[in-house]
Amino acid sequence: MSAKTVDKIATGVIMCVAGFIIAVLLGLLGYILIRGVGHISWDFLTSAPESIRAGGGIGPQLFNSLFLLVLTLIITVPLGIGAGIYMSEYAKPSKLTSFIRLVVEVLSSFPSIIVGLFGLLVLVNKFGFGFSLFSGALALTIFNLPLMVRITEQGLRGVPPQQKEASFALGISKWKTIRSVLLPIATPVILSGTILAAGRIFGEAAALLFTAGMSSPRLDFTDWNPLDDRSPLNPFRPAETLAVHIWKINSEGLAPDAPQIAAGASAVLIIMVLVFNLGARALGRYMTNKFTAAK
């Protein structure tokens, strides 16, 4: 058998495998969206859920998911960028650096349920934060921090070395070089990674079952004082997110239209995750092209 024939066979096999994976993915997404899009409406997105009666919505759960997303990013992004800067620019090759990288890799491979159990034992019980948005945000920080560290480190290492050398040649300090030269160039990569991490946060459920809780108090959207128990902005209140709500409805929902509510909520979740991922790619390409044009 000639080399050209082998190449054609290998190419055909790879194309078939890729086509099969794409077909499965499109079939799964299509099934969820076809079942759920018809149930999405403004009232469905803004009204509170019903435990027994039909006609409930996902308003509080959708708000809790968005609030948890913002709260987690506020904690994760500064820590991830700081650790990535240290690993890329300050850490010298040593056993300690190798151990830190090993820890980061191990954390990135942890199942989310293990992170949730750790959050239950340490954050909820030991530190006394209880089932709350803050506990959930800390658990998701543990879950997403390795991703932010790797993305930041790769973004900084991807900066052309001539840029750094030119800055040092002008007598600019190392920190100012990082702040004024390296970070602006690496921003497209870091932003894309941040949005991808946001998509993971929005769709996470297992870790939040044991940290943020499976219930949410009746919220008063006219009270924006974060110290009040019924305020939507109180980070220390229990908060059922959209992903947790889908699991709860499918497992123990009593409303007569529970399957329709779960289908609509699943479609909303899929659409939001797709928006985050597609937005990350579009933003990354836009900023990369903008930087290339500026050069």
Span of 62-66, 107-111, 185-189 with lowest mean pLDDT = 107-111
Q: Taking the model in full, what pTM does it have? A: 0.85
CATH domain 42-294 topology:
MetI-like fold (1.10.3720)
Least confident of 74-88, 133-147, 252-266: 252-266
Q: What is the pLDDT of residues 188-205, one digit of tens each?
A: 888 877 887 887 888 888
Spell 171-186 as b/e; 16+ CB within 10 A means b. ebeeeebbeebbbebb
Instruction: Report d(CA 194, CA 105) in Å as an integer.
Output: 18
Distance CA(63)–CA(46), nearest Å, equals 9
Asked if residue 294 has pLDDT above 60, the reply is no
Q: What is the pLDDT of residue 135?
A: 93
Would you say how long the chain is, in residues? 295
97 pLDDT tier (thresholds 50, 70, 90) = confident
Q: pLDDT tens-digit profile of 135-173?
A: 999 999 988 888 888 888 888 888 888 888 888 888 888
User: Could you tell me the CA-to-CA distances from 260 to 32, 34, 38, 95, 170 in Å, in that order?
Assistant: 11, 12, 9, 55, 64
Q: How confident is the model at residue 228 (pLDDT cuts 50, 70, 90)?
A: confident
